């Protein structure tokens, strides 16, 4: 099953969802059509399972990135800047699959629901992180602040992945480090947090 999912993910990353056919997935996975249908009733089920796996992996990554212990020696501004930069690099690396899942979510409510669940779970991890920095934050409601902050981060990164896909569109793309810096400033301003406690945001 993992070989089939890996093959589908590679195809999507290289050529988009339209390139995913049972025959091509099987060929790339070094498997057989019979083995495919023993695990998935059709291509749609394969894509749904791939999305589920991707969401699980994304949540595991978020748990590591937002672990409060990881940032004990960093001020809030520095921690958010590093978190945003890390997320941006990950989205850039996985742009093909990110775009595919956005397109699938627009057409299929089950993909949208999984995306919403991932956002909620990631927001819960961010909330746990923000609670450890409550004395540095002026926002009156951390639960809402965490939800809106996650939307700010994910929406910005998904917009970048979706819009700047061609050489022509990439010409107007802002540098990744600039996006990370300015998104950090926006988040800190929204949270009512100092721009810097230990050092200025680069």
Say if residue 22 is in the same domain as residue 72. no
Structural domain for 153, as ranges: 51-191
Are residues 175 and 116 located together in one domain of the fold? yes
Q: Which two tokens stand for residue 48?
A: 């749904």
Q: Give DSSP secondary structure letters for the chain.
A: -HHHHHHHHHHHHHH-GGG--HHHHHHHHT--HHHHHHH-SSHHHHHHHHHHHHHHHHHHHHHHHT-GGGGTTS-HHHHHHHHHHHHHHHHHHTHHHHHHHHHHHHH-HHHHHHHHHHHHHHHHHHHHHHHTTGGG---S-HHHHHHHHHHHHHHHHHHHHHH--SHHHHTTPPPHHHHHHHHHHHHHHHHT--S-SSS---
Is residue 97 located within the same domain as residue 167?
A: yes
- Residue 72 is assigned to a structural domain of this protein: yes
| pLDDT at residue 196, rounded to an integer | 62
In a domain, 67, yes or no: yes
Q: What is the pLDDT of residue 200?
A: 46
Both 174 and 106 in one domain: the answer is yes
CATH number of the domain residue 23 falls in: 1.10.10.60
Is there a single domain that holds both residue 36 and residue 55?
no
Enumerate residue ranges in the chain where pLDDT < 50: 197-201
How many domains is the chain built from?
A: 2
**Is 45 within the bounds of a domain?**
no
Please tell me whether residues 18 and 95 are part of one structural domain. no
The pLDDT tens digits for 109-129 are: 999 999 999 999 999 999 999
Alpha carbons within 13 angstroms on the beta-carbon side of residue 83 total 31
pLDDT for the residue 172? 80
Q: Are residues 59 and 115 in the same domain?
A: yes
**Hey, CA dihedral for 117, 122, 123, 125, is it positive or negative?**
positive
Q: Are residues 69 and 155 in the same domain?
A: yes
Could you tell me the CATH number of the domain that includes residue 169? 1.10.357
Cα of first residue to Cα of last residue in the chain, in angstroms, is 44
Q: Output the pLDDT for position 11.
A: 94
Assess if residue 202 is contained within a domain. Answer: no
**198's tokens:** 């230990």
Judge whether 81 and 187 are in contact, CB under 8 Å: no
**pTM listed for this prediction:** 0.87
């Amino acid at each position: 099953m993992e070989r089939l999912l890996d093959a589908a993910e590679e195809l999507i990353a290289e050529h988009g969802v339209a390139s995913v056919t049972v025959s091509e997935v099987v060929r790339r996975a070094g498997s057989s059509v019979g083995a495919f249908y023993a695990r998935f009733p059709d291509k749609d089920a394969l894509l749904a399972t791939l999305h589920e796996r991707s969401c699980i992996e994304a949540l595991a990554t978020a748990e590591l990135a937002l672990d409060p212990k990881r940032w004990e020696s960093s001020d809030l501004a520095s921690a958010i800047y590093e978190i945003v930069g890390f997320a941006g690099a990950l989205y850039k690396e996985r742009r093909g699959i990110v775009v595919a899942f956005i397109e699938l979510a627009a057409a299929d409510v089950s993909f949208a629901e999984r995306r919403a669940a991932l956002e909620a779970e990631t927001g819960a991890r961010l909330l746990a992180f923000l609670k450890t920095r409550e004395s540095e934050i002026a926002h009156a409601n951390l639960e809402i602040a965490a939800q809106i902050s996650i939307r700010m981060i994910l929406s910005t990164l998904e917009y970048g992945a979706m819009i700047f896909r061609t050489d022509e569109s990439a010409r107007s793309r802002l540098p990744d480090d600039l996006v990370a810096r300015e998104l950090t400033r926006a988040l800190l301003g929204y949270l009512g947090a100092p721009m810097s406690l230990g050092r200025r945001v680069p």
